[in-house]
Structure 1
Amino acid sequence: MSEVQTVRGHRPAASPVARYLAILLGLLLLAAAGVAGRDLYIRYADVEWQPWVSTATNWISALSYRNWMLPAGIAALIIGLLLLWASVRPRTKTHREINSEVAVWMRPVDIARMCTASAQRVPGVMGAHTVARKRSIDVTVIGNPQDQKLRDELQQSLRPLADLVAGAPALNVQVQKKEASK
């Protein structure tokens, strides 16, 4: 009997910045194709319009050095370097891996919601708020700060959820007293 090897999927990541730049470039090229099509129509049709491409190239050929050209060239170089950087930069990782037999990832906001919901089910908790970070899960609970049983039940409820997240983030549970409304 052969052994089945499991394959882990790729970690979800944000869309690359270059995707949006490519869409913008595609729209600009479509506009350029429209201009070229208009000039071809003028050349082969019997209309009295002025072609745009030959007018623009004649204007460019008549240019001589002006003071604005050096800063414009530097700006074009900077924009080109930024576009190059955007095309090769790594994509932002958006999800955290969950310890499981199959490849499962969750967004940090989903991990926080899961922990908040679990904390709110513990008796004695009046409210809860969670922030899931790369190295820690911070749960803030409104309840009685002197109640050790509440702290133990919160740890018992939240520890299995924190252990699900790969990388073993630290679980920080803070119990605060409800402040009186003003």
Structure 2
Amino acid sequence: MTTASPPPGTADNAKTMPAAGRAPVATPRVGYVGAVLALLLIAAGVVALRDTAVALGWLGGPPWIDTAIDWIDGLRFQTWMIPAGIAAVLAGLGMLLSALTPRRTRVIAVAARSAVWIDPADLARVTSHAASTIPGVLDARSTATRRKIVVTADVIDPNDPSIPTAVDAAVRDVTEILAAAPKITVRTRTVEALR
């Protein structure tokens, strides 16, 4: 004897749904700092290999590391050291802040039972397409952020007030899939204004 599965949306079915995943986030700023430090470390390794080749007699010339150590050892206080020290401290603080800064969320949550997101650039493409399907609109371009969408439509008749309203309605229909409604701004330009 088989038992019927519970209908969708019941408490038993909700228990089987996976937990929502974390939203994709931007690359951490400290990653760029790490890449620069990695390049500097590679350069230091190249210098060490060069000095090893000089010590083994494979290359001629003085060892660069010994020359740098002798130069640092012979230094006396000079006025340029104060701004250089301040710059080094500020660079260190900048690296520390970049490591502690939380990563930005770049995507927009879609109203779904599982974790689904849309990139603002993709949302702009969808809203541009929706606006361009309205009669009287020749072309439409959109920009989108996580909280705002701006649609610019090129229209034939500047005196037809129904076109901006229809564009706004079409964009709102598309953005109904989002978990939080963004602010929508519709701008129209006439064909004459483009000439």
TM-score (norm: length of structure 1): 0.82
Deviates more, 1:9-18 or 1:136-145: 136-145
2:173 aligned with 1:160: yes
Map 1:162-181; keep pairs closer than 5 Å: 162-179=175-192
**Unpaired segments ≥5 residues, structure 1:** none
| Separation (CA, whole Å) in 1 of partners of 2:118 and 2:44 | 43
Equivalence for 2:9: none
| Separation (CA, whole Å) in 2 of partners of 1:181 and 1:83 | 47
| 8 Å contact kept, 1:144–1:176 | no
| Separation (CA, whole Å) in 1 of partners of 2:25 and 2:147 | 18
**Unpaired segments ≥5 residues, structure 2:** 6-11
| 8 Å contact kept, 1:144–1:175 | no
Equivalence for 1:83: 95
Deviation at 1:117, TM superposition (A): 0.6
Q: Name which of 133, 139, 143 aligns with 1:121.
A: 133
Partner of 2:114: helix, strand, or coil?
Answer: coil
2:36 aligned with 1:38: no
Q: Name which of 93, 105, 111 aligns with 2:117.
A: 105
Map 1:20-99; keep pairs closer than 5 Å: 20-45=32-57, 49-99=61-111
Deviation readout 1:23-61 (Å, 9 max, x if unpaired): 221121122122223333443458764222222212211
| Separation (CA, whole Å) in 1 of partners of 2:189 and 2:68 | 69
Q: How many pairs align? A: 182
Identity of aligned pairs, percent?
34
Deviation at 1:89, TM superposition (A): 1.4
Runs (4+) off by over 6 Å: none
Letter paired with 1:139: V
Change in 2 beyond 3 A, CA 1:42/1:84: same
| Separation (CA, whole Å) in 2 of partners of 1:20 and 1:34 | 21
Deviation at 1:129, TM superposition (A): 2.7
| Separation (CA, whole Å) in 2 of partners of 1:81 and 1:167 | 37
Aligned-pair RMSD on alpha carbons? 2.7
Change in 2 beyond 3 A, CA 1:151/1:27: closer
Equivalence for 2:18: 6
TM-score (norm: length of structure 2): 0.77
Deviation at 1:114, TM superposition (A): 0.6
